[in-house]
């Protein structure tokens, strides 16, 4: 808004799919150009919803949040795992502020949800919702399907939500891997190389976003 002057138009969104046109009247006043009860456009929530459950990392987590939002994540769950190592305090309110800025920058009409950090054990204790596809990004597990395989198969076709879990620096523990399998999460790999945790999360989110775009252009 610092570059705008009186008479300049801009868009106002509510974070729930609606957009209004507005014009700046002065440095501290603006006016809607479309009635509040009749937005200029309304967009339904993207389907299927993309949920990224990602371990908090020592560095780069704010960048993970920003890039995941720009790529189209609908819900981000910060995870605390057995091998999680963080510097300083967790900052969920700061992450939500970053998410809002990123959504505005890329002109998203729906503001993604950023959960409070939670232990991985709590996530795995809750069964996946009916119709949800849970993908578990992992390495060194022998022959693993690529991320794209379950998405392009029957499971992806039927998915109402796609959940993807990405682990911490140092990887998942053996016990975490076993609990995920027992909870019906499907192990997948992200390629031939071992990636940094932050890189893995962004790369995986990019793959999910491309798949959804090809499927339904959202």
* Mean pLDDT (10-residue bins), the chain, 218 residues: 68 76 80 82 88 93 97 97 86 96 89 97 93 93 90 84 95 96 96 91 96 87
pLDDT of residue 45: 85
Helix (H, G, I), strand (E, B) or coil at 25: strand
Alpha helices in 106-188 (DSSP H): 120-125, 148-152, 154-158, 174-182
Helix (H, G, I), strand (E, B) or coil at 164: strand
On whether both 85 and 21 belong to a single domain, the answer is no
Beta bridge partners of residue 26, listed in sequence order: 29
On whether both 71 and 14 belong to a single domain, the answer is no
Task: State the CATH number of the domain containing residue 69.
Answer: 3.40.1280.10
On whether both 97 and 195 belong to a single domain, the answer is yes
**4, part of any domain:** no
pLDDT of residue 11: 76
Structural domain including 16 reads: 9-42
pTM of the model: 0.87
**3, part of any domain:** no
Contact (Cβ atoms closer than 8 angstroms) between residue 204 and residue 166: yes
**2, part of any domain:** no
On whether both 188 and 205 belong to a single domain, the answer is yes
On whether both 28 and 81 belong to a single domain, the answer is no
On whether both 31 and 84 belong to a single domain, the answer is no
On whether both 16 and 70 belong to a single domain, the answer is no
Q: pLDDT by residue (tens digit) across 35-50?
A: 888 887 888 888 999 9
Please count the structural domains in the chain: 2
On whether both 145 and 192 belong to a single domain, the answer is yes
**1, part of any domain:** no
pLDDT of residue 3: 67
On whether both 162 and 178 belong to a single domain, the answer is yes
């Amino acid at each position: 808004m610092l570059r705008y002057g009186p008479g300049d138009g801009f868009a106002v969104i509510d974070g729930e799919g609606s957009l209004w046109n507005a014009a700046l009247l002065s440095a501290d006043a603006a006016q809607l150009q479309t009635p509040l009860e009749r937005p200029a456009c309304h967009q339904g929530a993207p389907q299927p919803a993309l949920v990224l459950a990602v371990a908090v990392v020592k560095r780069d987590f704010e960048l993970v949040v920003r890039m995941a939002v720009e790529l189209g994540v609908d819900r981000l769950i910060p995870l605390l795992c057995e091998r999680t190592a963080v510097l300083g305090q967790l900052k969920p309110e700061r992450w939500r502020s970053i998410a809002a800025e990123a959504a505005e920058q890329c002109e998203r009409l729906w503001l993604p949800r950023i959960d409070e950090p939670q232990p991985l054990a709590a996530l795995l204790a809750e069964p996946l919702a009916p119709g949800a596809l849970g993908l578990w990004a992992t390495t060194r597990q022998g022959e693993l399907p690529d991320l794209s395989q379950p998405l392009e198969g029957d499971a992806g076709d039927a998915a109402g939500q796609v959940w993807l879990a990405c682990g911490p620096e140092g990887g998942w523990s053996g016990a975490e891997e076993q609990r995920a399998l027992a909870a019906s999460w499907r192990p997948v790999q992200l390629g031939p190389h071992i990636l940094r945790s932050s890189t893995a999360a962004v790369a995986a989110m990019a793959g999910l976003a491309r798949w959804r775009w090809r499927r339904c252009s959202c």
